[in-house]
Copies of this chain bind each other. A is one copy, B any other.
C-alpha cells in the first residue's frame, strides 16, 4: 500500500500541476527536499503568473519515530509499545490562492499513515478532504464543488458524504470568530473501516476528481471585473485563513512542532493578508451574505 499510495500522489501532483501551468501561463518552482529524520518530498509552487497570487501542490513521503505525545495526536488506534512510535506518512496537499477576489481559494489534502508494522488494528489509516474558501459567494460554485465531492462519495461504500460534509464544517471552524473558513466540502480522518484497497480506491477517486471540482469554478471567476473594495475584503478574508491555519489546523501545528519543512508547511498561507481593527461590513451587502453562510453552514446538495 505504501508504494501504491506514493505512486498515486506523485501521478496526481503531475496532472494537477500540468493543468495549473496551462492556466497560469508560468511554470512552477520545484523543490525536492529531504528530512533529516527520514523521507522528504516534492514541493511545487506557482507565483508571478496571471491567475494565482500563490499556489502550492506538495507531495511528502516521510517516516521516522515520533514522540509519544505527537504519535497520540496524529490519529489512529491506541499506542501500545514503543514499536508503535515508528511511523510512515505520505500525502498530497494543495492550496491555491487566485488573484481575482471573485475566484475562491481551494485546499485539498489526501494522506495515508502507518504506525509500527501496520498489521495491528488501528495501525494504518487514510485521511483527507477538500474545501472551498470564497471571498464572494456564488451559490452555483458551492453547489458544483459539493456535488462533485458527493458524487465521488456515492461511488464508494467506505464514504459517507453527509457525515464528511459536517466533519468539514466542524473542522474548519474559526472558533474565536464563530465563522467557518469557507463553504466547506468534505473532511475525513481515521478511515480504516474496511479493507485497505477500498479505502485507497475512494481516496484515489477524490484526488482524481480535484480538477473537475475546481477548475470550472476558477475558469468562470478568474477574469471577472472587481473593485479595490473587493480586493480589500479578499485580503481580510485571507487574514482569517491565516488565523485558522496557524491557530487550529492540525497539519500545520503538527508540522511546526515536529521539525517539518517550514516552507512546505506554510506554503498554505496566502501571499498577503490584512487585519483591520473592527472592520465593519454593510448590511445587505455581498460581504454580509457570505458571512451569514460562514456562521450557519448550508447543505449545498441534498
* A residues at B contact (CB < 8 Å): 29, 31, 45, 47, 54, 56, 175-177, 235, 239, 242-243, 246-247, 253, 256, 262-263, 265-267, 269-278
Contact A256 B176 (CB under 8 A): yes
B266 touches A47 (CB 8 A): no
Q: A262 to B177, Cβ gap below 8 A?
A: yes
Tell me which residues across on chain B come within 8 A of A272, comparing CB atoms.
Answer: 235, 272-275
Q: Which residues of B contact A175 (CB under 8 A)?
A: 256
Pick the most buried of A239, A265, A267: most chain B CB atoms within 10 A of its CB. A239
User: Which residues of B have CB within 8 Å of A266?
Assistant: 243, 275
- Is the pair A263, B277 in contact by a Cβ cutoff of 8 Å? yes
Q: How far is the CA of A224 from the CA of B273 in the complex (A)?
A: 25
Q: Report chain B residues within 8 Å CB of A271.
A: 274-276
Chain B's nearest CB lies how many Å from the CB of A180? Answer: 16
* A176 and B262 form a contact (CB under 8 A): yes
Q: From A272, which residue of chain B is reached at the shortest CB distance?
A: B274
Indicate how many identical chains form the complex: 2
Most chain B Cβ neighbours within 10 Å, of A253, A270, A277: A277
Chain B contacts for A246, CB-based, 8 A:
242-243, 246-247
Q: How far is the CB of A214 from chain B (nearest CB, A)?
A: 20
Known: A246-B246, A246-B247. A47 touches B256 (CB 8 A): no
- Report chain B residues within 8 Å CB of A29: 277-278
Is B262 in contact with A270, judged by CB distance below 8 angstroms? no
Chain B residues lying within 8 Å of A239, measured Cβ to Cβ, are 269
Please report the C-alpha to C-alpha distance between residue A247 and residue B269 in the assembled complex, in whole angstroms: 14
Q: Which chain B residues lie closer than 8 Å to A243 at the CB level?
A: 246, 266
B276 touches A273 (CB 8 A): no
Q: A108: shortest Cβ distance to chain B, in Å? A: 18
Given A243-B246, A272-B235, CB of A278 within 8 Å of CB of B263: yes
Chain B residues with CB below 8 A from A265, complex form: 176
**Complex CA distance for A54 and B175, rounded to whole angstroms:** 25
What is the distance, in angstroms, from A132's C-beta to the closest C-beta of chain B? 21
A selection of 15 A-B contacts at a CB cut-off of 8 Å is A29-B277, A29-B278, A47-B276, A47-B277, A54-B275, A54-B277, A242-B242, A242-B246, A243-B266, A247-B247, A247-B256, A266-B275, A267-B277, A271-B276, A273-B274
4 closest A-B pairs by CB: A246-B246, A269-B275, A176-B256, A45-B277
